[in-house]
A and B are shown apart, each in its own frame.
Chain A
Amino acid sequence: MIDVVVSDRRTRRTRAGAVTGALALVAFALFILTMMVGSYYVPAWDVITSAFHLRDDPSVDFIVRDLRLPTATAALAVGFALGVSGLLFQKLLGNPLASPDFVGISSGASLFAVSAIILFGAGSTMISASALAGALISAILIYLLAWRDGISGYRFILIGIGLSEFMLSIIGYIVAHAELYEARQAMTWLVGTVGQAGSTELRTLLVALVVLVPAALVLQRPLRVLELGDDTAKALGARVEVSRLALIAVSIVLIGFATAVAGPIMFVALIAGPIAHRIVGHSGGGIIAAGLVGSIIVLGADLVAHHLLPVALPTGVITGIIGAPYLIWLLATVNREGRGG
């Protein structure tokens, strides 16, 4: 009898491990591929030796380390942060629609960034800092507005969407009244692209990932019982409010930093978690897998945006083209089952 339990557990774990490993390989391959292609082709081995400082070759190093590595790293890190952030929100609120780029966190970041660009003529570091502040402030606002003897998923999502629309309309107003040059700059930022990252912001995002991803893995334990509903989680002895607050904080700081680096790249946080869940299987968790799927999407979208199309487009356009049909499919199927928004 006990064998059933052991074997079910082992099957789930082995599959999760194998799939996560495979995803890591794909993400790494795309990471290298991004640095190979461009106006000047660099062979894979030269990219690896240069990027990891295994050999110095000034002509290759300039292209790889100075020109391409920052963008590739930004794509990898931004995707990972968006994937983890989205998964935590979706699990926490028990709803595939509950992605932070949907419930007003990204719009908060956008509103602050656009205000910084248009109203204050800010530079890139200032824009990033504003975006981060916007993400945090809008999250706190939604949390407070949704609080009533605790937080319920639906109320959080509905208030988030409402607040998101409100902030988007203010963004529209600000952009409509801006000078042409600044309006263009704001619109470019709003679409989101990994190429616009400054090195300071990128470094900050990397530090955030190093600190927060392990934190997310630790918080996975209470998350596994929070998923069963508040009453069940409390009955099992979990500290519901504290754990939920910590998980929301991790998720919001991650998406805040990602947005600060690359602008609001839409849909990645929404689709990475469900895709990871589908391929990892019913193992629960899957934080690393969701992060890797996020990286793969952003790296892939960036490759398509810059190299496969006749005209270079911002990364956010491509993720939007992939993400929008998924959202429609999600709304159609989720509501049929009587769940979701």
Chain B
Amino acid sequence: MSEKLFVKGNEAVAMAAIEAGVRCYFGYPITPQSDIPEYLSRELPKNGGTFIQAESEIGAINMVLGASAAGVRAMTSSSGPGISLKQEGISYMAGSELPGVIVDIMRQGPGLGGIDASQADYWQATRGGGHGGYRIIVLAPASVQEMYDLTMLAFDLSDLYRIPAMVLADSVIGQMKESIVANPRPQVELPAKEWAVRGRKAGEPQNVVKSLKLGDGEMEAFHWAMLDRYKVLAENENRWEELLTDDAELIVTAFGSTARISRTAVAMAREAGMKVGLLRPITLFPFPARAYLSLSQRCKRFLDIELSTGQMIDDVRLSVARDADVAFYGRPPGAGSLPTPEEIFEQIRKVYP
């Protein structure tokens, strides 16, 4: 095993991006994610890559679009207000079937909100976020190690499926430091980017990267094809973690930072003799519906925990068996509203059958 490093979540994202072979990073400063552009502005040029602090979030995402269209790995990162601005470009990338990685270190909203942790961008991320009807891949790390590993996975999945991929975390995961192993980039067989613009040689087909589809039936066919691709994605790439679910009579479910806090709450419940487990989605899109369905055949009570008034709960309710009951405990994001394990344990007590 290689040596353990002690790094911040945001830095782990940046380190992983370099390991994954990112050639271009385009971004704009916003708290609490600025460690990512700061790290990459220092390290990416040393690795022969390009770093540009763009004029705006809109500029940044469109630079990602251009670099990705030219066939290289490109990324951007931001937080809530900046991610809203990027939605234009993300929609165009989705329409142009372009890969690319977007990191959202969520902060409070709506509006300027504040810089404390939030999970209230769940809907924006998992429902596409921009106009026109599309989905993007959404990965939700719950540790600094996962910030590293899932950033590399985001690049691979994005290239494999030609769908933009988002790493969705918050300032708890982004700002905390943990011991991690900087794993090497996994060996994944990826298709050549034959669609990329490269300057057309004689005898080669013209490559056009575009989202305008005016032909009769062309756009409809695109949407059906994308739906099929989303199904393949759900079939092959669903990821989740189960903790102590085998005999559980109550399953706590949460992603990212709240899942981390819930782990300790579950341990407290077990110490108190209660059969409580944890189900943590790692992919938010595709949502691991089958894990919920399968667990809810036996365990009929769930407790969904979120740093919002409830967003993921929609997906949880759509996924569990009809006779399962889903309780909710949320703290809308804000200063002083990060729940403690003790607080979640109290909620477990309340809803435990």
A and B form one complex? no
**Interface of A with B (CB < 8 Å)?**
none
